[in-house]
Amino acid sequence: MSDITVTAKAPYRPPTNDLYVRINSILYSNFISFRFTRSMENVPSTFTMELLCYGDTLPVVTMNEPVEIYLQKKQIFSGMIEMRSIIVNGNNTHSLSISGRSKLKKLVDDMPEYAGTSINNIQTLEDLCLQVCKTCGNVGVYNLSTTNDKMAWNSVPYNIGDTGWSILDRYARYQGKLLYDNGYGALVINDVAKTATTTINETSPLRSYGFSEDITQRYAQYKVLWQPYTTLSQTGLPPAATSSDPQATIFNGEGRTKITINSTSDEDGSLAQRYAQWQANRAYGRSRSVTVELVGFTDASNTLWDVNQMVNINLPMIGVNEAMVTCDVTYSYSNGGGSTTEITFYPALAFTFEPATLYQSDPSLQNLPSA
C-alpha cells in the first residue's frame, strides 16, 4: 500500500497578543474603531468597524465577506459583512464603515423545512440543536450544561415559517436552559451561572459604573387564575395560584396585585403556581441592573469577559455588594480611547425561565402526500 499524504490548511494564528482584524484573509491594522457585542438574550452577535484610508485607494470589501477578530492569539469573533458605508473627504483622508453579524445569523434568518410539522428522533435539547444547526448553515454546537433535560421527546413540533432560532429558543425555555452565541460561529447550551469567577470592586480598572432600579413593572403580589380540565359547576372566581415579590414590603400595603389568566389546561394548578413564581422572580431581577465600563477586554485573571459569567460586585458608592450575572458584553476599541469593555449585569433571578408547555406530535401522522 502506498503512503497517502493529506495537507490541511492550518488555522490563522496572529503573531502577537494584540488586536487583529481579518477580512477575507487580509489583515487590517488601520481601523479607527470597532465594537463587537454579545448578549445572552440577543442572537446573533454584532460588530461595527471603521477603517481609515488614504489617497485614491479604498479597501475592496464586498457583502457577505468573512470577518474575524483576534485577541491574545485567539479568535473572539467570526461573522460576515452585511452593511458598508464609504465617506470620501476633500483632504484625501477617507473612511470605510462596515458592520454585520456573526455566523449565527443563519439560525435567525433561515426557515428550515422538515416533512410534516415535527422534527423527529430527538431525545435531548442538544440533539435538536445539532439537527437544526446542521440545516441552518452547519453552525457548531457546544453543550456546557451540567443538568439533565426534563424529559426526552421523540418528536418536536414546529410551525412552518419558524426560523431555526425560534424553534430552538422555544424548546430551550421549556428545558430551562440558555442558548447564546459564543461569538465565533457556534451556539452554546448552558445553565445560568451559579458560581462567581471573578470580582469587580473599586480597585478594578473602572472608567465608569452605575446602578439602576425601577419598580414600575413590579407588584407586591402575583395572582394567576387557572382553569382545571373539568369544571362541573363553579361560582365566584376560579382557583388562583399566588406568589409575592422578594421585597414585597417596599410597596407599603398598596395592595398592588397583578392578575393573569392561565388559559392552558392545568389540572392541579402546578403550572399556574410556577407561572406566578416566575413573574415575581423575573420582574424583581429585571428591575435591578449594574453597568460598568472597564479598561481592556479581560478580567483580573486575564480571561476575556464573557456573557453568562457570575461576578462578585462590591461597589459601595452605588450601594451594590452581591453576585450578579453578565447579560450583555460590548468590546470596543478606538484610537483615542483604547480598548474598553462595557458590561450589563442582572441578578440571576432575571434569567428565570418562563414555564412552557409543549405538545408532542405523532410521527406517523407526518407523511406528506407525494407531489
Q: Please write down the HEC assignment for all residues of 302-323.
A: CCECCCCCEEEEEEHHHCEEEE
Mean pLDDT calculated for residue range 303-328: 96
Q: Residue 146 pLDDT > 90, yes or no?
A: yes
Cell of 126: 442538544
Tell me the pLDDT band of 127, cut-offs 50, 70 and 90. Answer: very high
Residue 352 vs residues 126, 192, 221, 348, 366: alpha-carbon distances, Å: 20, 9, 17, 7, 34
Q: Is 355 left (phi over 0), alpha (psi -120 to 50) or beta?
A: beta
Read off the pLDDT of residues 30-53 as tens digits, 9 standing for 90 and up.
778 889 999 998 999 999 998 887
Span 305-330, mean pLDDT? 97
Q: How many CB atoms lie within 10 A of CB 169?
A: 16
Give the pLDDT score at 359.
Answer: 55
Summarised one tens digit per residue, pLDDT across range 99-126 is: 999 999 999 999 888 877 788 888 899 9
Question: What whole-number distance in Å separates Cα of residue 228 and Cα of residue 171?
Answer: 25
Grade residue 8 by pLDDT with cuts at 50, 70 and 90.
very low
Report the range out of 115-124, 136-145, 263-272 with the highest average pLDDT.
136-145
Q: What distance in Å separates the CA atoms of residue 21 and residue 17, rounded to the nearest whole number?
A: 12
Instruction: Choose which CATH entry (3.30.750.24, 2.170.190.11, 2.30.300.10, 3.30.1280.10) describes domain 20-102.
Output: 2.30.300.10
Cα separation of 82 and 101, whole Å? Answer: 7
Please write the tens of the pLDDT for every residue from 159-200: 888 999 999 998 898 888 999 999 888 999 999 999 999 999
Q: Which three cell numbers stand for residue 369?
A: 402526500
Neighbours of 243 (CB within 10 A): 20
- Rounded mean pLDDT of 270-292? 93
Q: HSE (CB half, 13 Å, CA atoms) of 160?
A: 5
What pLDDT, on the 0 to 100 scale, is given for residue 154? 78
C-alpha cell at 29: 491594522
Report d(CA 128, CA 172) in Å as an integer: 10
C-beta of residue 220 within 8 angstroms of C-beta of residue 279: no
Q: Is it true that domain 196-214+287-351 has CATH number 3.40.50.300?
A: no
Confidence of residue 1 (pLDDT cuts 50, 70, 90): very low
Beta-carbon-side half-sphere exposure of residue 49 (alpha carbons within 13 Å): 26
Q: What is the mean pLDDT of residues 289-309?
A: 94
Among 220, 171, 201, 179, which Cα is nearest to 44's?
A: 179
Q: What is the pLDDT of residues 219-254, one digit of tens each?
A: 999 999 876 655 544 555 667 889 999 998 899 878
Cis preceding-peptide flag for 44 (omega within 30 of 0): yes
**Per-residue pLDDT averaged across 143-168, rounded?**
87
Q: Return the pLDDT at 59.
A: 72
Residue 65 vs residues 13, 71, 100: alpha-carbon distances, Å: 19, 20, 10
Q: How many Cα atoms within 13 Å fall on the side-chain side of residue 99? A: 14
Classify domain 107-191 by CATH architecture: 3-Layer(bab) Sandwich (3.55)
The whole-chain average pLDDT of the chain stands at 85
Nearest-angstrom CA–CA distance, 47 and 291: 20
pLDDT, tens only, 55-65: 666 777 889 99
Please check the confidence at residue 270 and state whether its pLDDT lies above 60. Answer: yes
260 strand-pairing partners: 224
Considering the entire predicted model, what is its pTM? 0.86
